[in-house]
Amino acid sequence: MDKHTVSFGPFVASLTTMRYTEFREGVEKSLRRNTAGRTWEQLRAELKLERRRACPEWTKALEKDIGLKRVKGAERALVWRV
């Protein structure tokens, strides 16, 4: 893999062409494994995502598609859960 690819589980995608479905599957798998939830920074590191912030459109879609909930965690962090 070169520096422009990301791997999470069986999925490998180019960072410039990552599709929503690949993102959704990676986030959902991570959150189901980590029932206490994950912050965006934890997800970003685990899934090797380059975006500093989550895409608002994709976040709203995750709320609908996988039942994503974001709750206040320590200090300013939001914890993502399903």
pLDDT digits over 5-17, tens only?
Answer: 555 555 555 445 6
Q: What is the residue type of 35?
A: T
Give pLDDT tens digits for 22-61: 999 999 999 999 999 999 999 999 999 888 899 999 999 9
Domain boundaries along the sequence of the chain:
5-81
Instruction: Copy the structure tokens of residue 52.
Output: 């500093």
Enter the tokens of residue 50.
């380059």
Q: What is the pTM of this model?
A: 0.76
Q: Report the distance separating Cα 81 and Cα 39, nearest Å.
A: 9
